[in-house]
Amino acid sequence: MREQETDVLVIGSGIAGLTFALKVADVARVTLVTKKRRADSNTNYAQGGIAAVMSPTDSVELHVQDTLRAGAGLCHERAVRELAREGPERVRELMEWGAKFTRSHGGLSLGREGGHSRRRIVHADDLTGREIERALLRAVADHPAIQTREDHLVLDLLTGTDRGRPVCGGAIVFDHGHDEIIAVRARRTLLASGGLGRVYRHTTNPDIATGDGVAMAYRAGAPVANLEFVQFHPTALYPAEGQAVLISEAVRGEGAVLTTLDGRPVMDAHPE
C-alpha cells in the first residue's frame, strides 16, 4: 500500500471542509479528499440561503430568540448564541472569498424563511449553495498549499495511541482513478464529510449523504450524539418517476401556499 504524508487531511468538499482548508492552509500543507467530484456536496444543493443579522432593523438577540423558539427547547443556547453572533462576519468572509450574493437597493437582498421574525436570509437567487461552493472551490484551487483529490473514497481512519491517549493519524483512502488504496498520514485530520440522510429510502438528501464520516468516527471510538436529528427538507415535488425536486423554504417564507391540482392547500389539515 502506497503512503502519502501531509500536515492536515480534510475529508469532504462542502462549505465546512473548504472553509477549514482555506483557514489552515496559511500555516500548513493541506490535502483535501472527496469521494466524488469536488462540487458534489450537500452545500452545492442548498437553495434558500444563510440566516444572518445583516440589517439595522434586526438584532443578534432577536435571531437567538427566534432560533430557540423554533427549536422547541432542544437547542443548546450557547451554540445558538455563537452562531447568531458570528453569522454576519462569516457572510462577509464568504464575500471576501468571492461569493456573490443577490443585492437590492444598494445592499444585500434579504429573504425570509420559516421561524424568522425578520428578513435575514442572505441568498444568491435560489442557488445559494451552488454560488458558495463555486467561490470556495475557486479560492481553494488558487491556494498553493492546498491539494484537492477527487474520486478518493475514505475507507477508514488511521488510529493509534500516543502516551496512552487515542489519536488519529490520517486515513486509508481508495483512489478510484488509479484503482489503488493509499495510506494518507497526517498530523491533523478533519472529518467534514456530511450527513447520513441517504440511508432512508425517501429523502431530499443527495446520493452522497451516506454517513461515511459518522461511521468512521464511531469505529475509531469517537463519541457520537444526536443521530436522531437527520435533516429532511420539508417540501419536495415527487414525480411518478425520477428523483424528487426540492421546493425551497424561501417559497413558503415569501407567503406561497402549496396546493393540489384542484386548488386545495396541501397542508390544509395542519396550516401552521
Q: CATH number for the domain including 174?
A: 3.50.50.60
Residue 120 sits in the same domain as residue 248: no
d(CA 95, CA 99): 5
pLDDT at residue 258 above 90? no
Within a domain: 224: no
| Dihedrals phi, psi of 169, to nearest 5 degrees | -120, 30
109: its cell numbers: 437582498
Spell out the residues 6+ positions from residue 64 whose beta carbon is closer than 8 angstroms to its own. 77, 80, 81, 84
Q: Is 81 helix (H, G, I), strand (E, B) or coil?
A: helix
Residue 145 sits in the same domain as residue 214: yes
Residue 95 sits in the same domain as residue 64: yes
> Binning pLDDT at 50, 70 and 90, where does residue 271 land?
low
Residue 17 sits in the same domain as residue 151: yes
Q: Count up the domains in the chain and report the number.
A: 2
Summary mean pLDDT of the chain = 92
pLDDT at residue 16 above 90? yes
pLDDT in tens, 188-246: 999 999 999 988 888 888 888 999 999 999 999 999 999 998 888 778 887 777 777 77
Q: How many Å is the Cα radius of gyration of the chain?
A: 20
Residue 23 sits in the same domain as residue 148: yes
d(CA 196, CA 181): 24
Identify the domain boundary among 219, 243, 264: 219
What totals of helices (H) and strands (E) does the chain contain, helices first? 7, 13
Residue 101 sits in the same domain as residue 165: yes
Closest CA to 19 of 90, 86, 80: 90
- Alpha carbon of 164 to those of 104, 146, 242, 248, 260: distances in Å? 57, 32, 52, 49, 62
- Which structural domain range is residue 238 located in? 234-272
